[in-house]
Chain A
Amino acid sequence: MTNELFLIIGMFIATFSTRFVLFAMADRIQFPSWLSQALGYVPPVVLTAIIIPAVVMPKGEVWLDWDNAWLIAAVVAALTSLISRNLLITIVTGMFIFLLVRLVQSS
């Protein structure tokens, strides 16, 4: 119980410090223009670095095959997003395809 308390407080300090340190100094730091432009790449790039391994290697190894439900559904979701430009439609379509492929595979 005490151990869990230490764990949670330690994790709180680790997460809050990384989130807060730059915010706390926000009124005192001024980024050069190339750096602000570079930071604009951060969100899509970080998200892509999370997505690609999750769908290309869902079981820990590269799996480029029609059997890979994660990859198939991800490709369909990306196309859906390009066409519909709507987040909710993309999620629903992607999840539907994913569960469908999984269902077909397990039967």
Chain B
Amino acid sequence: MNTQQSVTTTPSRECLSGAKATIPLIIGAIPFGIIFGTLAEPSGLSALGALAMSFIVYAGASQFIALGMLSAGATIPVIIVTTFIVNLRHMLYAANMVPKVRHLSLRWRAVMAFGLTDETFAAVSNRYLNSTNTEYAHWYYLGSFLAMYSNWVLCTAIGITLGELFPNMTQWGLDFAMSVTFIGMVMPYLKTRPMWAAVIVAGLIAIATYNMPHKLGLMVAAFMGVCVGISLQLLLNRHVKKNTGVDSDE
């Protein structure tokens, strides 16, 4: 799909294809940036505060939750702790990326950490999934991050401006844009039985734990899904090894 299979890659070429590969996800994020900007002032966050939040915090889900809590009258420490919990999943992403960033300088890793979102993680994971030539893959990451980041700040600004004109925007159900984007990202992973089992378990548990506070159900569902997936995979590997005498790592 969005890969660079050629043997000769350059930083600028990787940067550009990273940005390009993120375009579908950017399209999915546009409604969110706009809706965030639109909702900010009715929730009690100033226009400048909303823009600064997108520029400095740069975390979609947390920013929406912060708005919801602000309008519900939550105190600032509670919002900050909630932000931390909601973002714990980024630690899972970071853990997944560790082997790929190990060789990079601390400055590179700091920039990449700031840019670690669901979307960039998905785009970059596909990059590593589809090609083994990863010498300049961190430039691909940078391209994806910069495209996503500038779009997020820009859409927040558009949303703030539109907020006064169309106060009913959220009732259109544009939240579906994020779901459909994620669906398109998950399907290519579903190639093995352990992977199917992992996502089915995660989906069912996510529904069952939906009412847990602070989006904690998401963590529970993800954790259980990963446990089921890896257990099945290890069982299947052992089965293959026993029957053929050959060690199968896949």
Contacts and interface: CB of A to CB of B under 8 A. Distances in A.
B165 interface: no
Contacts of A19: 87, 90-91, 93-94, 113-114, 116
A26 B102 contact: yes
Given A49-B202, A70-B176, A74-B179, A18 B90 contact: yes
Contact of A91 (B24, B57, B80): B24
B19 interface: no
Given A20-B113, A46-B92, A87-B24, A73 B180 contact: yes
B95 A39 contact: yes
B218 A44 contact: no
A38 B206 CA distance: 19
Contacts of A95: 176-177, 180
A104 interface: no
Q: How large is the interface on A (under 10, 10 to 19, 20 to 34, 35 or more residues)?
A: 35 or more
Nearest to A89: B184
Given A11-B59, A26-B102, A31-B99, A54 B179 contact: yes
A45 B190 CA distance: 10
A12 to B, nearest CB: 5
B53 interface: yes
B199 interface: yes
Interface of B is mostly: helix
Contact of B87 (A3, A18, A39, A40): A18
Interface string A24-60: 1011010101101111111111111111111111101
Q: How large is the interface on B (under 10, 10 to 19, 20 to 34, 35 or more residues)?
A: 35 or more
B222 A46 contact: yes
A16 to B, nearest CB: 6
Contact of A4 (B46, B125, B190, B226): B46
> Which of B121, B178, B186 has its CB near the most chain A CB atoms (within 10 A)?
B186
Contact of A87 (B184, B194, B218, B227): B184
A5 B145 CA distance: 25
Contact of B76 (A3, A21, A26, A69): A3
Interface string B59-90: 10011001000000000110111011001111
Nearest to A81: B187
A6 interface: yes
Nearest to B199: A48
Nearest to A97: B180
Interface in A70-84: 70, 73-74, 77-78, 81-82
B87 A41 contact: no
A39 B92 contact: yes
7 contacts: A14-B84, A43-B189, A47-B185, A51-B203, A70-B176, A87-B1, A102-B173
Interface of A: 1, 3-4, 6-24, 26-27, 29, 31, 33-34, 36-58, 60, 62, 69-70, 73-74, 77-78, 81-82, 85-88, 90-91, 94-95, 98, 102
